A and B are shown apart, each in its own frame.
Chain A
Amino acid sequence: MEERPTSVWSSTRFWRKSAGWVTGVSALLLIWLSVDTVAQISMGTDEDMQAKKPMRIFPSTVINHKVTYEYDAKRGHEVPVIGEKEAFFGRSDYSPEEADALLRHGKLTVQAKNCMSCHTLLGNGGYFAPDLTKAWLDPAWSESGPYMAMTGTATREEAMAKFMMHPSTYPTHARRMPELGITEDEAKAIVAFLKHMASIDTNGFPRNFAKMNGGVNAK
Chain B
Amino acid sequence: MIEAFTDVFPSFFGTLNRGPMTLTIFLHTLIVLPMFFIYFSEKKKIERGEPDE
| A residues apposed to B, CB below 8 Å | 4-8, 11-14, 17-18, 21-22, 25-26, 29, 32-33, 36-37, 39-40, 54-56, 74-76, 201
Describe A's contact surface by its main secondary structure.
helix
B5 to chain A, nearest CB (A): 10
Most A CB contacts (10 A, CB to CB) among B4, B8, B31 go to: B8
| B residues apposed to A, CB below 8 Å | 4, 6-9, 11-14, 27, 30-31, 34-35, 38-39, 42-43, 45-46, 49, 51-53
Known: A4-B46, A5-B46, A74-B4. A13 touches B53 (CB 8 A): yes
Complex formed: what's the CA distance from A21 to B33 in Å? Answer: 11
Describe B's contact surface by its main secondary structure.
helix
* CB atoms of B38 and A14 under 8 A apart: yes
* CB atoms of B13 and A11 under 8 A apart: no
Known: A4-B51, A8-B46. A25 touches B31 (CB 8 A): yes
Q: List 26 A-B contacts (CB under 8 A).
A: A4-B51, A5-B46, A5-B52, A8-B46, A11-B42, A11-B46, A12-B52, A13-B42, A13-B45, A13-B52, A17-B38, A18-B35, A21-B34, A21-B35, A21-B38, A22-B31, A26-B31, A32-B12, A33-B13, A36-B13, A37-B11, A39-B9, A54-B8, A54-B9, A56-B9, A75-B6
